[in-house]
């Protein structure tokens, strides 16, 4: 039985309407879909594997843990201490663009009497100093210090380290306190910016007796700059060796 003209028109209208509704629904689903995240179980946002790589954490099995070589605290005033932790990232291409940490001071009875949190970074194959300047214990005496690392999110990094070199250290120690002047050289052809500097003073036995930090905004290519570190009190005995660490966050472009 032939289809009437009217029925044909209705079918044509219904087809156009169905197509329009399908397009509208698809567009609505597309624009209202949740933004991709690193825990959605999907391969998106340039990820190398599901929920890792790209914008997410590096696709890794078991990265080597950060190595804490030592943690020391130093009294700067009655009931007030500063602390330093000498840490190493042994991973060849994995680092931490944002490393959250916590330093705790413990009493002889193994109670936490002061605590501080902070954020730094850890480039691959790099040693660095974590420094906290203001740990208040009031009348309590600390016996030991511990550093803990929080919420580690590793990233792959292939960037070359900047050509920074500490060419000279000059230390003076008097009644006004200790002072260290270091000369930092940029041995590359290009400016290096946002340079983080750490200084560690050692005694005859290689024990850290003082720590401090500084920074340089920029060193032009093939130029030098002075960096200064200070301590409030005179050392007794006078430190014998000095280590200055110059680094930049390679994850920041």
Nearest to 164 by CA among 198, 130, 131: 198
- Within-domain flag for 18: no
* DSSP-assigned states of every residue in 182-214: EEEEE-SSS-EEEEEEEEEEE-TTS-EEEEEEE
Which of 140, 156, 172 delimits the end of a domain?
156
- Residue 22, token pair as written in the block: 């399908």
Q: What is the DSSP letter of 23?
A: H
CATH of the domain at 173: 2.60.40.3230
Q: Which residues contact 80 (CB under 8 A, 6 or more apart)?
A: 134, 135, 136, 137
- Which residues have CB under 8 Å from 135's CB, separation 6+? 73, 80, 81, 82, 83, 103, 105, 114, 115, 116, 142
Number of domains observed in the structure of the chain: 2
Which among 156, 179, 204 is the end of a domain?
A: 156
Please indicate, yes or no, whether residues 152 and 216 belong to a single structural domain of this protein.
no
Q: Do 152 and 71 share a domain, yes or no?
A: yes
What rounded mean pLDDT belongs to the chain?
A: 88
Residue 18 has pLDDT above 80, yes or no: no
HSE-CB for 131 with a 13 A CA cutoff: 15
Asked if residue 142 and residue 80 are part of one domain, the reply reads yes
Same domain, 173 and 114: no
Report, in angstroms and rounded to the nearest whole number, the Rg of the chain calculated over CA atoms.
29
Residues 6 or more apart in contact with residue 193 via CB below 8 angstroms? 217, 218, 248
Residues 185 and 241 in one domain: yes
Q: What is the pLDDT of residue 137?
A: 96
Please say whether the beta carbons of 207 and 136 come within 8 A: no
At 201-247, the pLDDT tens digits run: 999 999 999 999 999 999 999 999 999 999 988 998 999 999 999 99
- Enclosing domain of residue 196: 164-247
pLDDT digits (tens, 9 = 90+) for 156-196: 988 888 899 999 999 999 888 999 999 999 999 999 999 99
Answer yes or no: do 147 and 179 share one domain: no
Element (H, E) at 77: strand 67-77
Question: Does some domain include residue 123?
Answer: yes
C-alpha dihedral (233, 234, 237, 238), degrees to nearest 10: 110
Note the pLDDT of residue 87.
98
Instruction: Please report whether residue 214 resides in a domain.
Output: yes
């Amino acid at each position: 039985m032939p289809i009437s003209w009217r029925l044909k028109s209705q079918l044509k209208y219904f087809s156009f309407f169905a197509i329009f509704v399908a397009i509208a629904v698809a567009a609505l689903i597309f624009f209202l879909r949740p933004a991709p995240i690193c825990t959605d179980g999907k391969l998106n946002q340039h990820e190398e594997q599901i929920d890792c790589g790209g914008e997410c954490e590096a696709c890794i099995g078991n990265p080597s843990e950060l190595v804490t070589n030592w943690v020391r605290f130093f009294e700067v005033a009655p009931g007030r201490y500063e602390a330093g932790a000498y840490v190493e990232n042994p991973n060849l291409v994995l680092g931490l663009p944002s490393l959250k940490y916590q330093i705790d001071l413990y009493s002889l009875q193994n109670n936490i009497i002061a605590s501080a949190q902070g954020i730094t970074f850890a480039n691959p194959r790099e040693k660095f100093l974590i420094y906290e300047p203001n740990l208040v214990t009031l009348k309590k005496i600390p016996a030991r210090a511990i550093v803990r690392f929080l919420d580690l999110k590793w990233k792959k990094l292939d960037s070359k380290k900047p050509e920074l070199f500490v060419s000279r250290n000059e230390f003076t120690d008097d009644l006004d306190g200790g002072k260290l002047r270091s000369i930092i050289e940029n041995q590359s052809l290009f400016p290096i910016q946002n340079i983080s500097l750490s200084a560690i003073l050692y005694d005859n036995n290689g024990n850290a007796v003082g720590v401090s930090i500084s920074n340089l905004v920029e060193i032009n290519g093939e130029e030098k700059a002075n960096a200064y570190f200070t301590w409030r009190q005179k050392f007794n005995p006078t430190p014998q060796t000095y280590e200055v660490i110059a680094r930049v966050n390679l994850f920041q472009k």
